[in-house]
């Protein structure tokens, strides 16, 4: 029993979020390097191999095994067992990316020091805020010309609306980058560049009193550091761990992932400051992570490679207890006892079948088509359902036209199954049947995926007619409003999802506010529910 508790306590499950190119892959790779999960930097599935052109879906499909692998990685570091959840970027960006954050207990936000907060970071950040999970900021690429660190703090605070507390502070940047000052220990970690990034850049430990410090930094940087420290101590937010745990204050770190500088420092603080797996809300109240009864929820479903079988992998986040592959579990929504088939976990690049796992872990199980996103599995006889997972606002919409109308049945089946996996959302206009379907996606690549999969897996050819609409809102208080009576704007379209929930589509963002102004009491939401 003591071991069971210890196993859960030592787990840390987090996602790394960033705008593409900020250095998420590089940082992940360095983490794995410290954990001894890989031997050489450069061996994590790099961006280069993952750079999918939109037309490359065939290739993506061939690589599916790999992309499954990259969705979560587990490794040990010191006494910790770390689960990193990957949030794909670029064209791969999809609703899955958002949903992955539902399985994390905290997030690491990587920001490029020369660019500050960028578009994709803002989108992912909003989901972290929705969940009130702690957010740790790593400001990367200090070895390049960077914005002033005070301006970067200001940028994070004003754009994202979160308070910041620098845990360390950079000394210079670009060619002048000399290291970081640790505000907790008052030590300076001096940076000397190494050229290959394979090993850590040398990280010598100095204090503010070290006689060689001023000479080492040069008098200008030395004086600026003294001033900065004084300013920070006087003006920056205190490190209030209660606010950190609520996601209202972000501890900030500086470094260079490529040069492996500041990474270990960051990792050590981060692991200490984050908590072990957090309890989750259910219809029976909060579920204690340390309860001996196993429970988990499905947060992602991925179509498998074997087209002939249309089987899928369901990813589950274990929320309480211990998973034992020999024991039956109860699938709450399916109302059935079952044994989870081929449970697997991902260790860096390897997939391995497992026999046990603990709260905080992510497991992938073979899914013959029974699971839906948000489903709960638990110990038989102790049933409850976890709180549902939100659906996220798609930003691209298209009307789907079927080329061969004789294949109606296959079309409906195919598009419904793909929507059930959560890669696309489907909607209808009022007063039309299934012949007029609107597809909404978070990333445009999903349009090509849909086209390709319908043709290859269901033998159905479609044409997509993209729509100018980009903003969708669920009506939060639909009981109080007759959708037909909502006073709209000229660019507004009324649609419904497959459950009949009313939604509004807009071409322009300003129109959302305009409709709110015209319809007093109307509440619109960017999130729906599965
Ligand atoms: P991503 O996953 O967030 O998209 O970013 P990724 O780690 O792939 O990094 C994007 C680019 O930034 C890569 O260069 C990477 O080497 C570089 N980079 C990451 N961290 C640092 C850093 O601390 N300093 C500097 N100077 N560069 C950094 P690339 O040329 O696009 O790719 P590659 O040829 O290095 O693979």
Q: What would the pLDDT profile of 61-77 be if each residue is shown by its tens digit?
A: 444 433 433 467 888 99
336-391 pLDDT, tens digit per residue, is 999 987 787 765 556 678 889 999 999 988 888 899 999 999 999 999 999 988 88
pLDDT of residue 118: 93
Task: Answer whether residue 498 shows pLDDT above 90.
Answer: no
Task: Answer whether residue 42 shows pLDDT above 50.
Answer: no
CA–centroid distance, 98 to ligand 1, in Å, is 23
Please tell me which residue, 190 or 194, carries the higher pLDDT value.
190
Question: Any bridge partners for residue 514, and if so which?
Answer: none
Nearest CA to ligand 1 atom 15: 23
240-288 pLDDT, tens digit per residue, is 999 999 999 999 999 999 998 999 999 999 999 999 999 999 999 999 9
The CATH fold of domain 280-378: Elongation Factor Tu (Ef-tu); domain 3 (2.40.30)
Task: Answer whether residue 45 shows pLDDT above 60.
Answer: no
The residues lining ligand 1, judged by C-beta closer than 6 Å to any ligand atom, are 18, 20-26, 46-48, 89, 140-141, 143-144, 256-259
Strands (E), 387-477: 390-392, 396-402, 425-429, 437-441, 462-466, 471-475
Nearest CA to ligand 1 atom 30: 21
CA–centroid distance, 23 to ligand 1, in Å, is 5
Q: Which of 19, 31, 47 to mutate to test the pocket of ligand 1 (most atoms within 8 A of CB)?
A: 47
Closest atom of ligand 1 relative to the 89 alpha carbon = 4
Closest atom of ligand 1 relative to the 19 alpha carbon = 3
CA–centroid distance, 282 to ligand 1, in Å, is 40
Task: Answer whether residue 47 shows pLDDT above 70.
Answer: no
* Mean pLDDT value of segment 316-331: 95
Domain locations along the chain? 12-69+79-273, 280-378, 390-529
Q: Does the domain spanning 12-69+79-273 belong to CATH 3.40.50.300?
A: yes
CA–centroid distance, 50 to ligand 1, in Å, is 13
Pick the CATH number of 390-529 from 3.30.565.10, 3.60.15.10, 3.30.70.3280, 3.40.50.300: 3.30.70.3280
Per-residue H/E/C for 237-277: CCCCHHHHHCCCEEEEEECECCCCECHHHHHHHHHHHCCCC
484: exposed, middle or buried (Cβ count in 10 Å: 0-12, 13-18, 19+): exposed
403-419 pLDDT, tens digit per residue, is 988 888 999 999 988 88
CA–centroid distance, 440 to ligand 1, in Å, is 31
Q: What is the pTM of this model?
A: 0.88
Nearest CA to ligand 1 atom 6: 23
pLDDT of residue 122: 92
* Mean pLDDT value of segment 83-92: 76
Contact of 462 with 454, CB cutoff 8 Å: yes
Task: Answer whether residue 56 shows pLDDT above 60.
Answer: no
Q: Which of 36-45, 62-71, 324-333 has the lowest mean pLDDT?
A: 62-71
pLDDT of residue 54: 32
Nearest CA to ligand 1 atom 16: 258
Task: Answer whether residue 430 shows pLDDT above 90.
Answer: no
User: ipTM of the predicted structure?
Assistant: 0.97
């Amino acid at each position: 029993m003591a071991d069971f508790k210890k196993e859960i306590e030592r787990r840390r499950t987090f996602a790394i979020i960033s705008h593409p190119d900020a250095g998420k892959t590089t940082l992940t790779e360095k983490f794995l390097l410290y954990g001894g999960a890989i031997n050489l930097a450069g061996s994590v599935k790099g961006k280069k191999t993952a750079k999918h052109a939109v037309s490359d879906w065939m290739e993506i499909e061939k690589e599916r095994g790999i992309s499954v692998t990259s969705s979560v990685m587990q490794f040990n570091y010191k006494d910790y067992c770390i689960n990193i959840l990957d949030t794909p970027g670029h064209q791969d960006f999809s609703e899955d990316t958002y949903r992955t954050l539902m399985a994390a207990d905290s997030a690491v936000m990587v920001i490029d020091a020369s660019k500050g907060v960028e578009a994709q970071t803002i989108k992912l950040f909003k989901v972290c805020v929705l969940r009130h999970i702690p957010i740790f900021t790593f400001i990367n690429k200090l070895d390049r010309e960077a914005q002033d660190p005070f301006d970067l703090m200001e940028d994070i605070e004003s754009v994202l609306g979160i308070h910041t507390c620098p845990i360390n502070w950079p000394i210079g940047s670009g060619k002048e980058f000399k290291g970081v000052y640790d505000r907790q220990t008052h030590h300076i970690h001096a940076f000397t560049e190494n050229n290959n990034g394979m090993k850590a850049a040398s990280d010598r430990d100095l204090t503010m009193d070290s006689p060689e410090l001023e000479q080492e930094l040069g008098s200008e940087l030395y004086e600026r550091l003294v001033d900065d420290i004084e300013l920070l101590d006087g003006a920056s937010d205190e490190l209030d761990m209660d606010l950190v745990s609520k996601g209202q204050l972000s501890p900030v770190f500086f470094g260079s992932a490529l040069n492996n500088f500041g990474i270990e420092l960051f990792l050590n603080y981060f692991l200490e400051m984050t908590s072990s797996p957090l309890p989750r809300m259910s219809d029976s109240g909060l579920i204690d992570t340390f309860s001996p009864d196993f429970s988990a929820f499905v947060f992602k479903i991925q179509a498998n490679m074997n087209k002939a079988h249309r089987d899928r992998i369901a990813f589950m986040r274990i929320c309480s207890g211990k998973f034992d592959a020999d024991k039956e579990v109860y699938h709450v929504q399916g109302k059935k006892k079952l044994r989870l088939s081929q449970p697997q976990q991902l260790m860096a690049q390897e997939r391995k079948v497992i026999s046990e796992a603990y709260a905080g872990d992510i497991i992938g199980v073979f899914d013959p088509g029974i699971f839906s996103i948000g489903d709960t599995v638990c110990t038989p006889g102790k049933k409850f359902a976890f709180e549902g997972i939100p659906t996220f606002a798609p930003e691209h919409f298209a009307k789907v036209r079927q080329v061969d109308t004789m294949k109606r049945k296959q079309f409906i089946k195919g598009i419904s199954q793909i929507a059930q996996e959560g890669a696309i959302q489907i909607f209808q206009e009022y007063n039309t049947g299934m012949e007029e379907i609107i597809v909404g996606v978070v990333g445009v690549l999903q349009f090509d995926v849909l086209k390709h999969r319908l043709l290859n897996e269901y033998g159905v050819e479609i044409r997509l007619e993209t729509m100018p609409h980009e903003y969708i809102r669920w009506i939060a208080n639909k009981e109080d409003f007759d959708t037909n009576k909502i006073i709209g704007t000229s660019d507004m379209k009324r649609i419904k999802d497959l459950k009949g929930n009313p939604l509004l589509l807009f071409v322009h963002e300003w129109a959302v506010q305009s409709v709110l102004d015209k319809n007093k009491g109307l509440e619109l939401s960017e999130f729906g529910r599965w």
